[in-house]
Structures are given as structure tokens and as C-alpha cells.
Chain A
Amino acid sequence: MQQLAKDVLKQLTDAGFDAARVTIAEDEVNELGVAHNHVSLMRSTNSQALSLLGIQDQRKVTASVSSLETDAIKNVIDGMVRDVKTSPQDPANAVAPNQTGVFNKGPQTVDREALALAAKNFLAFRSSNYPTFQIEEASIKHSLSKTTLLTSEGTELVSNVGEYEFSIMGSSKDEHGSSSFNYTGGSVDVLPENLVAHFDLEALMANSVQETQTELVGDKFEGEVVLMPMAVMDLLGWLAGQIGDFALLSDASVYKNSVDSLVASDKLSVRANLAGAGVSPINAEGFVVEPINLIENGKLKHLLPSYYGSRKLNKPYVAAPGGWSIDAGDVSRQEMIASVQRGAVVSRLSMGSPAPNGDFSGVIKNSFLIEDGKRTKALSETMITGNVAQMLKDIIAISSEVTDFGGYKVPWLQIKGLRFS
């Protein structure tokens, strides 16, 4: 593929582009699907895509096509030559310079017998231990993503990333009713025979079977939440949006001038998780990702605009990875719950996108009330209201246990000052 990428790069420069980027991606996926507690589907897919970026006279155009045939490539380049003239000039347009490397990471071939064994063991475990937990949908798959990326500024990258991925969504149903659905999943380099020890999977099923009987929270009050990993990832997602291109370019980021300032509790440190299963060593712009610390003891260390965004805003560029790790804290999950006077342990937040200023209200799902340090009834129709930026500052404890989802390593967070209704 490298030779084809070089040929296409030459075609782009010959066509008049001052700078160009060529990415050829080939993906192979083998997936075992589970529906309604039974294996249902074996799926094997093979796809390829050619993605091109061209810059001419500071004008940019991109296009992608799934065919690598000569005529298809020529048609795409002809279209780019036509379209680029209509783009506005922008000196911030550029391609990645001088990035080189060949990266092989994770399992490069699929073990289909291992997929079958993992599925068989997991389904047997569910059936004997949590028979009222209903798998609406689950999948165990191996994927191999091969990427060749070249730019006219000397970048030559090859990345072959393999991983096994597991995902599950389900709910419980018994004589009392149905629970709210919940989900988990993640990536590993080596597919274990028993998946239940990973991704908090057994905890999810154990909690779910207790959630078919729920109660309303009762009155309105201000209390604490103990966020489980999936809810913690919602906080990280909002933070990533605030320090990314769209919020920065539209001047809507609450963190635009916050580098080296406290944006979170000094207990919080968030670091790049380059070693995480499935985390790509390169990014789509053509940079090798960097081992950065995003938040150190509550201080924001970087904004994460794209290469274009960084040049547009005259901000430093860092190549961020697709996975993050939150440092473990010093209290156990049980100690965390025991310290809460009134609040809830929250598995999942169901909410609209928080407002640009961080204000949000969301329904807490798969959650249990905490009263006087004890986890009590499962909750339904309960909302919390607060501000995500303030929540990051109001973290009062981080659990010593950290769940490894592959790309993300996430502990529980205890946060004060949420309004319950």
C-alpha cells in the first residue's frame, strides 16, 4: 500500500496541489454477535478507503473513496481539483510535517476459536449466575486496522493495530418488572476465556438484577454522587469537547485561557494512555501521538485543537491519543460510599448535551440511593442538576480501584454539590 500511497501523492502534487495528504485504510473485522442471550451472527467484513487532502493556494479540500481502482482515484482527484478553487483561502491550512514510523500493535490475526470460546463461557456464566439478566445485544470481535499515511511534507507512517473488542447491552426482567438497560465494553490485546472479570461486567449484571424494583428519590435535596466509570467518561467527553476545535474556534470554550490553571480538584490527574489496547499510535492528521499529561493535579496542561485549529488560533499543537487514564485515588469504592451522607452511586447518566457553559441536568440510570453511608434502593425517574465544569472542581475522592477498558482506565469519582429531584 505504501507504493500506491506514494503514487497517489505524486498524482496530487502533479495535479497542482501545493501540499497533500494520502491515507489508505484497510480494515478486517471478524465479529460474533449475540442477540437475546444466544449467539446469532458471525460477521466478517473487509473494507478499504482512500482519504485525500489537498491544499492549493492556501485553499483546502478533502475527499474519500472506497475504491482503489485507478479510474476511481483519478475521478476523486479531478473532483478535488475542481472543488478546491471554491474554498476560501486560509493560511492555517497545512499537512503534518516530518512524522515517520512503522507501528505494529495488538493481535494481528484473529483466533476465531477464541471468539467462540469466550462467547460460550460468558453465556453459560450469565445463564447460571444471572438468569434474569437479558442480553439485548452483545458482540465479541477482532479488528485489524492497517493505515498508511503520507504527506507532501515528509510524513511517512504505517500503523497496524489489532484488538479484540467486547460490547454488551442488556437489562433484567423478572416478576417485578424490567430494569433500565445498561452497557459496558472495551478492548484487550489478548482475548480471555472468561470475560466476566473485565470491564466491570459482573458488577453490571449483579446490579442490574437488583434494578427491576425501583423507587423515586422522594424529595429534592443537595447531595453527593459516586460516579461509576461510564458516567465518569461523560465528564471526560464534555471536557474533550471544550478543549477541542469546535469550542475553541467558535470562542465558546470555558477553558480557552485556562492552560496551567486549576480546572479540577487537585486530586485529578488525566494522562495519555498510549499503551491501552486499541489506542492508535498515530492520529488521523498524520502525527505520532504524544505521551502527554492533560490534567496534572487539577491543572489543565494542554488545549487540544487540531493542527489546523492550532495554527488558526496560534496555540501550541499536541497530538492527542484516543485513550486516557485517570490516576487512581487513595480510597476504596466501599469507603467512598460509606462516607456519603446522602446521595447516589450512579452507573450511567442519561442527559442532553450539557450547555456550552457546563450546565446540565440528567437522569441517573442504573443507580442506587446512598443514605448514611449505605447503598439502599435502586432509583428511577431521578434527575441530578449541576454544572460539569464545577463537578470537576468538586471531586472530593477518587477510588483506588481503576477499571481498564482498553483505551480508557477509569476509577470512580465522588463529587459533592449536585441537586437531586
Chain B
Amino acid sequence: MSFATFSKAGDYNEFRQHEMRKRRMVMVDGNLVANDSTHQVGESARVFQGGYWGFASSSRPIGAQTLGNQAFANAKAMQVFGGQEKTLPTAAYTGEHGFSGKQNWSSEQVIEWLQTVNDFAKGRYDKLASISIVAMDEFHDKYVQNSVGSRVYNNISRALGYLIMTVQDDDGKPVELAEVIGGKGGLGDLDLSMTTVEAKLDKIYEHLMAKREAVHAKGGLQTVVMAPELAGILAHEAMGHPCEADLVLGGAVTGDLRGQKIASDLVTMVDFAHSYNGEELLMPVYADDEGTPSKDATLIENGMLKDFMHNRETAAHFGEEATGSARAYAPDDEPLIRMRNTAILPGKDKIEQMIADVEDGYYLLKTSNGQADTTTEFMFGVGLGYEIKNGKLGKAIKDTTMSGSAIKMLQTVDAVSDDMYWENAGYCGKKQPMVVSMGGPAIRAKAQLGGE
């Protein structure tokens, strides 16, 4: 792949060549149940004409001109709905950004690692009922050009190793916990050494032994200390999605709250484009799939709702600068507004003291999936947590759900730790999946828990 000559028909036009390589291996109790690799290559053209978009893509190399003409024809066909005058921002970017990591692991190395981890766990933990180990990496190479002069090469890559252990409680019911090792690049770039893996497995097993005896959390409004691993998903689900400008246009409550105080002074939340504190982040986006130069979007600053994330079209609607947030997951996907590296910024508190100050509450350590809402009412599953009684950790709690109005909850934040934890596991779902990263410190607040 490389840059190509392409059709510049329409008011605005872009052309993307996209190569996606993915690998996934899954071992369940020593059985290799998946050993998959996929290689998808495609080209797409998108044209903006008279206020409407036309998009065309093909996995066959039929050429930029042909695809551009198809996209233009699609945009013109939309004029039956009545044309509109809209002018898109013209910011352009030229640059090439890739990740130069270590040599990636071969399939043989990955399978050997899976087997080694399986054998180690089976030999070490006497109450282990099952262990599943997943190794996956994916690489996206994109060449994006447009009619306003952008020429961008982006490489996004990430690798993940999941360790999932199951034991049985006294009633024979399964109790499960997972840990992830993730990072930029391929599996060869991760620290998958047995020293690291052993430490993580020991920790999971220790938590599982506690979770076998878990009690139900008390339902209702509770004081919770969220570990740094949870702050990122809180940022992403609770206020990240409602600050995507397309969701704002879709009726999100944030549309009426800009400039207003919606959180404690301690809360600042940013969707970083590519770097934080001078270091490149896990999902660096220097220019998006519309060829727009990416910039940080400060969503909340000292408790005040500030900016939204934009593509070219929403930026035109709001009369603001595009933030370079438009990204497409697969070669035949059109770019949508997506988060990149969303985080709550660290404060000055110490996590140990944040727990010690709680008389009756919960320390929440691990989350499963989460969901946002136009109302900012969020939820995410809590897979691991402990009671806090008189400033000390107590019994583990059964799986529960944390939820509430993000605005109400963020207003109750009274402590933010000085930690910063980043993670790039999982997929964000919004018509298309997307790789994102999220981060944050420990946070203490009041939130709704599901339970007795």
C-alpha cells in the first residue's frame, strides 16, 4: 500500500487504504480451541456533496478513481432528500506515524507460552477448576488522503494477553476472575515473562480464594473507592461517550451543560490525542481517518464541562475546530467519532489513606463491561471488590454492578489519588468496534451498587 492518485469529485473527498491483521489464540485447560489469523485489505472513498455523504469500499483493488466515482454517485443519489449547503473545516495534515517494536512472536512461541502458563497454573493452584489463556494482537495500517491536502500514514497496533481462572465455591458454583496484560505493538512487545505471569496468577488466585467466600454488596448509594483500573472505564463510559459531538446532536444531556459545573473541582478529564506528559500513549492518533490533525479534547476541567470531541461535520455544525476524533475500525467502515486515550487526571491523595478514611464502603478493583447513556447515567460490571469496614478491607463481594448519574457521582468525588494507570484492553462498541485506551487514578465517590 502507498498513497494513490484519487478522484477529487464533490465538495470534499477522501480516500483510505487500510490493511488489518489480527491473530488470536485461545487455550482452555490445555486445549488450543482457537488458532486464528485474519488479514483484511480494502480501499474506501467517501465524498461529501450538497450536505450528504457517499461512501464506497471494496476488498478488491478496483482503484481509487472507480471507488471515488461510486462514492460520488452515492452522495449525488442522496440529493433526492433535498440538498443543503454545508462547508466542512479544511484543516489538513501530512505525516507518517508508526510503531517500531520488537520482533513479534511466532505462532510457535505463542502456543509454547500458552502451554507453559497452563501447565504452571495447573501445577501450582490446588483449587483451580479451569484456566483459559488468550493471546491476541492486531495491526492497522492506514493511508488516508483527502481533497484538502492531507496525506497521512498511521499504524495502530496492540497486543493483549488474558489470564482467566475459575475455582468453585462450596456449593460447586463457578467463581471466575481475569487479568490482562496489554500494550502497544505485537505480542513480542509485551512483558509475558513467567516472572510477571506468576505474580499476576498468584494475585488472581488470592482474590479468587477470597471471592469463594464473597458476600453480597449492600444495594443502594454507597461510598466507593475505585482502584485506578476502574477510573479509565468511568471516564470512558460515564462522561466520554456523552461528550462525543454526534451523541450530543442525538440529544445527550451534555448539550445543555457546557460551561456548567458538573463535577467536583478535583475532576479533570481529557481525551488525549497521542501523548500525555511528553510520552506517547497506547492509542496514538496524530491525524484521524478524515486526515484532520488530532488535538486533545478537555472534556471536564476542574469540574466544569468544557469541550466535545468532533469530526469535520460536527465541528462545522458547532462552529468549532475538529479534534481529529474520526476513526474507522475495518477497511469497509466509515469514520465515526471515537475516543482515543480518555483519562481522569491524577490528584494528590494516597490510595491507602483514601481507604483508611472510609468507615463503611467498598473498594472496587476490577470491572467487566460498561455502558454509557445520553443522560450520563452509566453502569459497569464490578468483578472484584472488597468491603471497607472502619478503614480496613473486609470480605470480598460477589459480582455486582456500579451505576448512577455520572454528573451526580462526579460531584461527590472527594479524593483523587496520585496514581495513573493506562490500559488498552477490550473494544469500544458504537456501530463499529474500536480499539481505545483509558486511564486514571483511584477515585473516591458515592455511587449506586447493585446488591442486597
Contacts and interface: CB of A to CB of B under 8 A. Distances in A.
A372 interface: no
Nearest to B38: A64
Contacts of A136: 246-247, 249-251, 374
Contacts of A380: 375, 377, 405
A127 interface: no
Contact of B33 (A42, A49, A86, A308): A308
Contacts of A7: none
B399 A359 contact: yes
Contacts, number: 268
Nearest to A353: B368
A194 interface: no
Main secondary structure of the interface of B (DSSP, over half): strand
B251 A170 contact: yes
A29 B332 CA distance: 10
B452 interface: yes
B36 A43 contact: no
A361 B78 contact: no
A23 B399 CA distance: 40
A361 B251 contact: no
Interface in A344-379: 350-357, 359-363, 365
Interface in B18-51: 28-42, 44
B394 interface: no
A100 B117 CA distance: 41
Contacts of B31: 88, 90, 92, 249, 312
Interface in B173-202: 173-176
Given A64-B38, A66-B41, A180 B374 contact: yes
B77 interface: yes
Interface stretch (A11-19, A32-40, A334-342, A402-410): A32-40
Contact of B373 (A60, A220, A365): A365
B157 interface: no
A216 B269 CA distance: 28
Contact of A86 (B111, B400, B403): B111
A365 B372 CA distance: 11
Contacts of A385: 216, 219, 400, 450-452
Given A42-B53, A181-B373, A421-B450, 19 more contacts: A35-B249, A36-B246, A40-B52, A41-B55, A45-B57, A46-B57, A60-B35, A62-B34, A90-B32, A134-B250, A136-B249, A171-B250, A180-B374, A181-B250, A252-B174, A350-B371, A352-B369, A357-B173, A360-B450
Interface of A: 29, 33, 35-36, 38-49, 60-67, 76, 79, 82-83, 85-88, 90, 92, 112, 116, 120, 134-137, 169-173, 177-181, 220, 245-246, 249-252, 254, 308-309, 312, 350-357, 359-363, 365, 380-381, 383-385, 419, 421
